[in-house]
Chain A
Amino acid sequence: MGWPRRIGNALSGFYLTACYVFILLPVAVLILFSFQDGRLPVPPFHGPTLRWYVTAFTNDRMMAGLGNSLLVGLGSSALSVMLGFLAAYGLARYEFGGKKALQGTIILPLAVSYLLVGMGLLVTLSTVGLSPSLWIVVVGHVVINMPLAFAICLAQLGEHQRKVEWAARDLGASTFRVLTAVTMPMIAPALVAAFCLCFTLSWDEFIIAFLVTRFDVTLPVVIWTMLRGGLNPQTNAVGSFIFMCSILLLVAVELLLFRKRAE
């Protein structure tokens, strides 16, 4: 092996390490200092202790936020997957004019920033005279997540699946029967994966949740409020908890889609 090659390898190894350090170091620090035995999550590290986790999970505001986040996450993900699946089925299986334009419109929110979605919702709310609430967060999260669920479902509804649906129709099944007994079970891994992905995104979404709620806020908004009062290992503990939930869901998505590909 020549010198240039060795230098090249060393450089790319260094680059890779630097990338991972940049991405993972803040998370590692966050998690480490959630076990800090002291009042400030800053070096030097003392501990470890679990008392900030205990504090966080017995904090009423925190638990209310957690409940709200679960509600919004589950509700908006279920709606997103349902609407996304039905839209994908319609576009994949029926021929009609303006199909391309409709598909573009459905995908469009992916390209719009969360800030714009939140502001748009806020303006709409005041125009129609509704007050900010948790339900509007659900609407906002459906707006940003439905295109994702749509895209995942559309990718699964290929020609082979169409043939299988044909077979079901050929054997006498109605459209509803085909959808519930064949199409949905057949692409169930993708549906579950889409649900997990939507939930992960909804779970730690801040801007929309902050803009369109007033009292019944979600967990990220609670954490933000607490951070304004200064650094506290309790916020580290909650942050770590949110991070672990997201990671678990992403692993679930990866396993589901990976198993699908392997078949």
Chain B
Amino acid sequence: MTVAHLDIAQVSKRYDQVVALDDVSLAVEQGAYVVLLGPSGSGKTTLLSVVGGFTVPTSGRISIAGRDVTALSPAQRPTTTLFQDYALFPHMSVAGNVGFGLKVRGVAGAERERKVAAALELVGLAGYGRRGIHEISGGQRQRVALARALVVEPEILLLDEPLGALDLNLRRQMQDELLALQHRTGRSFVHVTHDQEEAMALASLVVVMNKGRIEDQGPPKRVYERPATLFTATFMGESTQMPGRIIRSGGGHVTVETAVGAVQGASGLAEGTEVMLVVRPENIRTDPGEIDLGAAHIREATFQGAHYRVIAESAGGPQSFVLRLPPDAAVEPGRALRLSCRSENLLVLAR
């Protein structure tokens, strides 16, 4: 059995009345890109802070590379953090910032200069060493912060919503660069965000958090397509949700009574369970398919470039659908549709 590179074992953090982390356990392999995803107040930032050593957990244990670090201060841990607002040293040059960790560790002048130059080269800022922090752009500051954190060769790099302050283009570009950096350095990254697109673009392991607990964890494709809980399904992107109750169950198949009639689905849940049927917009079809979702008419459609985002009302009952239609489709309001989906795309999740 391999020992996890980062092992979070039954960590809880309680403040006076609030439980920020509730018995969280997570094992991460070396070289993983972990994204902690959740809404604000879900405990994702607290968890990152506990791993970095800035927050002391009420109970539980943290091990990194087989060593128990629970009692160690941030300075003693083999982790470095990329802070949300970069937290660069305003009175130092770019090189001064990047070299700080090495200087503290007693790395001598020439050796330090060489490593600083290599780190700046790594983040695409070769030759920027003499500049002041106020003379460079936001994107460049981010790279300086990255170089500063990576130059001390941490086992794990912690990233606290690092892309929040950047505009969309720069964010996409930085995502690519973060991934490239992570592959090149082979280090484990733990990245906190509330943006599910960012999570899917970066993660090798997505950890969805809610109310201090881990709701779901796995590769992004699996978490998006087969979320373990209703919260995860909702948080990972838009979907049509149909409330209902299981009226027949057996052999891994269920029949669910919904506003649009009885729908067949795959699930081991027992008869009588209140469930939510969830379908992603791209999986709702307008031709006859395996599972019939009934007749509907278009209520509104918005053009989004690659497709129309369409909201349709069911003819059978109070149920609306979110679906996508190609840009050349006729989408005038009131147009009738026949909706269906494939059985593997219909999720049956307990409410």
**Which residue on chain A has the smallest CB distance to residue B134?**
A263
User: Which of B73, B75, B149 is most buried by chain A, counting CB atoms within 10 A of its CB?
Assistant: B75
Determine the distance from Cα of A173 to Cα of B74 in the docked complex, in whole angstroms. Answer: 9
Q: Is B274 part of the binding interface, using a Cβ–Cβ cutoff of 8 Å?
A: no
Q: Is A1 part of the binding interface, using a Cβ–Cβ cutoff of 8 Å?
A: no
Q: Which of B53, B75, B89 contacts A164 (CB 8 A)?
A: B89
User: Which of B73, B104, B148 is most buried by chain A, counting CB atoms within 10 A of its CB?
Assistant: B104
Residues of B within 8 A of A166 (CB): 54, 74, 81, 83, 87
Q: How many residues of A contact B (CB 8 A)?
A: 19
User: Which of B52, B89, B148, B149 is most buried by chain A, counting CB atoms within 10 A of its CB?
Assistant: B89
Interface of A is mostly: helix
Give, as a whole number of angstroms, the nearest-CB distance from A231 to chain B: 50
Given A164-B88, A164-B89, decide whether A169 and B73 contact each other with a Cβ distance below 8 A. Answer: yes
Contact yes or no, B89 A170, CB < 8 A? no
Q: Is B130 part of the binding interface, using a Cβ–Cβ cutoff of 8 Å?
A: no
Residues of A within 8 A of B80 (CB): 170-171
**Which residue on chain A has the smallest CB distance to residue B148?**
A171
Determine the distance from Cα of A7 to Cα of B148 in the docked complex, in whole angstroms. Answer: 63
Q: Which of A160, A170, A172 contacts B81 (CB 8 A)?
A: A170
Contact yes or no, A172 B83, CB < 8 A? no
Q: How many residues of B contact A (CB 8 A)?
A: 26
Q: Is A182 part of the binding interface, using a Cβ–Cβ cutoff of 8 Å?
A: yes
Give, as a whole number of angstroms, the nearest-CB distance from B246 to chain A: 50
Contact yes or no, B81 A167, CB < 8 A? yes
Q: Is A127 part of the binding interface, using a Cβ–Cβ cutoff of 8 Å?
A: no
* Top 6 closest pairs, chain A to chain B, by CB: A171-B101, A167-B87, A163-B87, A185-B91, A172-B104, A170-B74
Provide a sorted-by-A list of 27 A–B residue pairs whose CB atoms are within 8 angstroms: A160-B85, A164-B88, A164-B89, A164-B90, A166-B81, A167-B81, A167-B88, A167-B89, A168-B89, A169-B75, A170-B75, A170-B80, A171-B75, A171-B100, A171-B101, A171-B104, A172-B76, A172-B105, A172-B152, A173-B100, A173-B104, A174-B75, A182-B89, A185-B89, A185-B92, A186-B90, A188-B91
Beyond A160-B85, A163-B87, A171-B100, 18 additional contacts (C-beta under 8 Å) are: A164-B87, A166-B81, A166-B83, A167-B89, A168-B100, A168-B104, A170-B53, A170-B80, A171-B101, A171-B149, A171-B152, A172-B76, A172-B101, A173-B75, A173-B100, A182-B89, A185-B92, A186-B89
